[in-house]
Each structure stands twice: as C-alpha cells, then as structure tokens.
Amino acid sequence: MPEGRLYKPAETAERLGITTMLLNKWVQHFGVKTEWSNPSNPENKGHRRYTEENLKLLLTIKEKVQDQNWSWDKTKAFLAGDETVDVQLRTGLESEIAELRKELFLDREKNQHFQESLISSLAALTNQIEEMRKENAGLKLMINQQETSDLQLNDKSTLNHEDFEHERKRIAEEVVSEVFQKIDEKRSEQEKQNEKTSIIKDNVKDETEETKRKGSFLNFLKIFKK
C-alpha cells in the first residue's frame, strides 16, 4: 500500500474541477496507474483510488489540455518524454517570447504616442477653458448691463404708468363734466319749451273763450232783430 491518503474518484474530480466521466477518460487515455480499493482480489479490485502523485500528473494533464489547448496525443507524447515534443515546446515558447517582445515594443510606442496625444489634448483643453472663462466674463458684463438697463426701463415704465393714470382720470372728469353740462342745457331748453307751450295753450284758451263770447253776442243780435 502506498503511503499517504488515497482519494476517491469523486474527490479527485472535485479537486481537479472536472467531471468523473472526464477523469475516467483521462486515466484510460494517458495510462494513469492508480490504486484500488480492494487490491488483494485480482478478479474484483473494487474502485480506483488516487494518490498525491496521481493528482500531480492529472493536474499536469489538465494544464496542457485545458489551459494550453494541447491535443491529447501531444500531451501523451510529452508525458512519455518525446524529445520532438520538447523541441516543439521550446520553439513555441521562443516564438511566444519573441511575439511578446514585439507586442511590448509596440505597446511602448503606443504609450509614447498616447502620452504625446494626451499632452496635446490637455493643452488644447486648457486653451478652451481659458477662452470659455473670457466668454463667461463677457457674458456676465452683458448681463449686468442688461439688468441695469431693465431697472432703468422699469423706473420709466412706472413713471409713464402714473402719468397715464393721471391723464386718464383727468379726461374722465372732463367727459363727465361735459355730459352733465349737456344734461343741464337740455333741461333748460326743455323748460323753455314747456314755458312756450304753456303760453300758447293759454292764448288758445283765451281765443277760444273770446270766440265763444262773440258767438253768443251774435246769437243775441239775431234774436233781437227778429
């Protein structure tokens, strides 16, 4: 029996972060030699048990297959110590290093260009802010002047309103006075007309009475002659 703890398949899969089905496939494909729960019975060894060494090997398989995207055959060859895989690995690493150096150089150039562009943008922004401050000062001056002009205009408007009210009252008084004057004139004319009418009535009455008297006298004379 190996020293150290033995892990069940479910525990091993949980520690690797994979399913038990994938664990069984890796064990079969990569030829991982595990322990058994009943090693004394050759016909029925029971269930697999995984040692710490098994876990390290399986972690290496996971790194190559899942993290570095190696094929299963390439990973198997690497575990078997195939020199071709080592050469390919070194070549790939050298290419990756060269590519990283190139990217680093390009990043430095981009950073330098970005810094220069940023400085230029900040300078332009500073100029814009200064121009906006000047415009703001000019606008404040215009607003103050407009407010002063509005106050003066309001004062004049108040005075004009008072003058208008005074003139309106004066005209109204004149109109009322003229109306009453015309009423008095009409009343005086009506009184005079009534007086004339009364005189005419009196004259007509007198003439009527005189006519009656004359008629009576004539009748008397007629009777007397007879």
DSSP state of 64: I
Q: Which residue has the tokens 């290093």?
A: 97
pLDDT in tens, 73-105: 999 999 998 767 665 666 676 677 778 888 887
Tens-level pLDDT at each residue, the chain (226 residues)? 566 899 999 999 999 999 999 999 999 999 999 999 988 888 888 999 999 999 999 999 999 999 999 999 999 999 998 767 665 666 676 677 778 888 887 778 777 877 888 788 878 878 887 888 887 787 777 777 777 776 665 655 555 677 778 887 888 788 778 877 887 888 888 888 888 878 877 777 777 777 677 666 666 666 665 5
Enumerate the domain spans of the chain.
9-80
CA distance 156 to 150: 10
User: Which runs of E-coded beta strand occur in 6-85?
Assistant: 35-36, 48-49
pLDDT at 49: 96
pLDDT at 207: 72
Closest Cα partner for 30 from 88, 74, 89, 66? 74
CB 18 within 8 A of CB 62: yes
What is the Cβ-side half-sphere exposure of residue 105, based on CA atoms within 13 angstroms?
6
User: Class of 9-80 per CATH?
Assistant: mainly alpha
Q: Which residue has the tokens 């892990």?
A: 7
Q: What is the pTM of this model?
A: 0.39
pLDDT at 98: 78
CA distance 189 to 21: 132
User: Which runs of E-coded beta strand occur in 24-180?
Assistant: 35-36, 48-49
CB 52 within 8 A of CB 5: yes
pLDDT at 155: 58
CB 37 within 8 A of CB 51: no
Distances (CA, A) of 210 to 64, 204, 224: 160, 10, 21
